[in-house]
Structure 1
């Protein structure tokens, strides 16, 4: 896959980073599996490692340009962030020792289960705020200012979720947004806030995963018979092309975000997961 195609995919990862909290993992992993197909079963290992670097930079930049008033929702979440990072370190180490195909099919199965969960379990496609739940299902428009005030204080994510989310996200190379965005939405945040808050959480996951991937040994033989030049398990050429496409898009969309109705936003998120699932099945 040439750099022009990777640049175009980078543009898409910029869009998904801002609009859906996907720092690159869900979009980048299927593409990188194709790009590194010459590695055979090891392509998924390189893809997850490379996507971790892409997610780290994208999520860090997106967080830096997010309004402070939105990020204040994560006050008091230090334990959650630390456990996300600790879990991610464990997940990245597990990836290096697991059979190569395990991560690929784990990715496919996890996304499929997530799609089913979002379709069947209430709280994602139709968000219910605290006031609505406790007043017989009446909407915020009928409750007025009182309802708005109640819905303005979403529940924090439990810190105990950090370790399993971080471990699974790093193992599969997905960045965690597929878990954190639905959790944040069910905690009471609208989609635009949930997707924005997913970026700092993704950064906490991607940092240790990237560090371990860059320091991985034994990657040289993977690329010996290919055009690839790996640093650890990371394909820096592919990562660079993806980031060149993504970062300008992130800067523009953070300044001028599109206005999307909340429920439509949730359906588009779900449709994107379906597209990624199809791409990974074809890549397999």
Structure 2
């Protein structure tokens, strides 16, 4: 119970960031759990458990955030329909591939990918300059490749879709508010497919403790979800008020903090 209460307090922050930046929890949950999972989790499966738990948390937070953003009219449903199916296909690939990677490889891949996102966003400058809501749909083949790529990498690393979806939508002219609002429903297939994939893989490991279902750590799941119901409404209200240019810079700054957290472990 103590663990659930402590995780619930952290869950409030995760809920705010989920609704405010479209993180769904993954960017925050993975490094926190990597650092604080109990010793009962076998060392070679710590990163797998952090990712699996992160994906399970995302199901609830993404659904909750989507409802709040949809009520405010922030979700561009035509773009959602364009990418949704291909992200679902990629999510299946990512969940399957995770079985073949060690915990340490997943950690380094997580770090490397975030560094790439930060550097490319700063160098291109399309991410941090103001958007004009002139979103241009890509060619259909490009949309297929993008959606499958987002689903595969996001599920494999447990980061949800926002870290790939938001920069992509920004580069095509969408504002941060609408990019974040889209990242939450587009993260649902990644979260759902990834959760069941990691759950199934973990259930084949006999050394996992009773506090888990597969690679999902239950005290953290319950705590983060409870806290998320408090945090999500606050995050959505803050997202409505943040200026677009400041919004994008704060997003990149938070990604830098996460990279540092993962590198010093």
Work out which of the residue numbers 111, 122, 126 in structure 1 matches 2:125: 122
TM superposition score normalised by structure 1: 0.84
Distance 1:193 1:77, change over 3 A: closer
Equivalent residue, structure 2, for 1:15 = 16
Larger CA deviation: 178-187 vs 78-87: 78-87
Matched, 1:172 2:157: yes
1:270 match: 252
> Matched residues in 1 for 2:152 and 2:58: separation?
15
Alignment of 1:188-267 (within 5 A): 188-216=173-201, 217-223=203-209, 229-254=211-236, 257=239, 259-267=241-249
Work out whether residues 177 and 240 of structure 2, in 8 Å CA contact, stay in contact via their aligned partners in 1. Answer: no
Counterpart-to-counterpart distance in 2, 1:35 and 1:128: 39
Deviation at 1:188, TM superposition (A): 1.5
- Provide the rounded CA distance (Å) in 1 between the counterparts of 2:110 and 2:38: 17
Q: 1:70 aligns with which of 68, 74, 97?
A: 74
How many residues end up aligned between the 2 structures? Answer: 256
CA contact (8 A) 1:220 1:230 kept: no
Structure 1 unpaired stretches of 5+: 130-150
Runs of 4+ aligned structure 1 residues displaced above 4 Å come to 255-258
Are 2:171 and 1:186 aligned? yes
CA distance in 1, matches of 2:224, 2:63: 15
Counterpart of 1:154? Answer: 135
Structure having the higher Rg: 1
**Retained in 2: the 8 A contact 1:125–1:267?**
yes
Q: d(CA) in 2 for partners of 1:235 and 1:28?
A: 12
For residues 75 and 215 of structure 1, do their structure 2 counterparts lie closer, same or farther at Cα, with a shift above 3 Å needed?
same
Q: TM-score, normalised by structure 2?
A: 0.89
Distance 1:100 1:257 in 2: 34
Deviations 1:119-149 (A, max 9, x none): 11121111354xxxxxxxxxxxxxxxxxxxx
Quote the RMSD (CA, aligned, Å). 2.0
Unmatched 5+ stretches in structure 2: none
Corresponding residue for residue 43 of structure 2: 40
Distance of 1:78 and 1:172 partners within structure 2:
24
- How many Å separate the matches in 2 of 1:83 and 1:52? 18
**Partner Cα separation in structure 2 for residue 270 and residue 115 of structure 1:** 6
